[in-house]
Amino acid sequence: MARYIVLETLSFGSDFAYPGEEVELDDETALVLMRKRAIKPAELRQENKTSEVKDGSNN
């Protein structure tokens, strides 16, 4: 289970989740809905950014 931001109105039985709301979904459902661009992950994984450090030399 993970949390996602709703991009398109979702139907959960008789309830709706509207754009901007946060919902918790299982992986299988989330995959289908992400393919439809109906949701996006609530928290993007922190990427390990490696920055080049210039040492000042020309080597």
Write out the residues near another protein by the rule CB under 8 A.
8-14, 16-17, 23, 25, 29, 32-33, 35-36, 38
Alpha-carbon 9 to chain mean position? 16
Residue number, 31 or 48, with CB nearest to another protein: 31
| Residue 14 vs 48, nearer CB to another protein | 14
When the beta carbons of 23 and 59 are compared against another protein, the nearer one is 23
Exposed / middle / buried, residue 9 (Cβ in 10 Å: 0-12, 13-18, 19+):
exposed
